[in-house]
Amino acid sequence: MSSRLKSQSGTLLAEQLVVMVLSTTLLLMALSAWSHWQQASRARQLGLQWQMALQRIRQAALTDAQAWTLCASPDGQRCQAVWSGAWLVFADSNGDSQRQSHEPRRVFGPPIPKHWRLVWKGFRSSPGVVWSEAGDAALSNGTLTLCAPKAQDSALRQWVISKSGRVRLVIPARNSATLTTARALCAAQ
**71: Cα separation from own chain's centroid:** 14
Give the pLDDT confidence of 99-128 residue by residue, as tens digits: 888 899 988 878 888 888 888 888 777 778
Spatial separation of the C-alpha atoms in residues 68 and 66, rounded to whole Å: 7
Average predicted confidence (pLDDT) for the chain: 84
134, part of any domain: yes
167, part of any domain: yes
The structural domain count of the chain equals: 1
What value does the mean pLDDT take over residues 167-171? 90
Structural domain span for residue 57:
44-188
**Length of the chain, please?**
189
39, part of any domain: no
184, part of any domain: yes
Give the pLDDT confidence of 34-64 residue by residue, as tens digits: 877 888 888 888 888 888 989 999 999 999 8
Confidence of residue 33 (pLDDT cuts 50, 70, 90): confident
Contacts of 84 (CB under 8 A, 6+ apart): 72, 112, 116, 117, 118
Confidence of residue 165 (pLDDT cuts 50, 70, 90): very high
Please state, for a pLDDT cut of 90, what percent of the chain lies above it: 13
Q: What is the pLDDT of residue 6?
A: 55
DSSP string across the chain: -HHHHHHHHHHHHHHHHHHHHHHHHHHHHHHHHHHHHHHHHHHHHHHHHHHHHHHHHHHHHHHHTS-EEEEE-SSSSB-BSSB-S-EEEEE-TTSSSB--TTS-EE--SSPPPTT-EEEEEESSS-SSEEE-TTS--TTS-EEEEEE-SS--GGG-EEEEE-TT--EEEE-GGG-HHHHHHHHHHHHH-
87, part of any domain: yes
Confidence of residue 90 (pLDDT cuts 50, 70, 90): very high
Min mean pLDDT across 6-10, 95-99, 112-116 is at 6-10
At residue 59, φ and ψ (nearest 5 deg) are: -65, -40
CATH number, residue 137: 3.55.40.10
12, part of any domain: no
Min mean pLDDT across 10-14, 83-87, 175-179 is at 10-14
pTM score, whole prediction: 0.76
30, part of any domain: no
Q: What is the pLDDT of residue 118?
A: 86
57, part of any domain: yes
Confidence of residue 141 (pLDDT cuts 50, 70, 90): confident
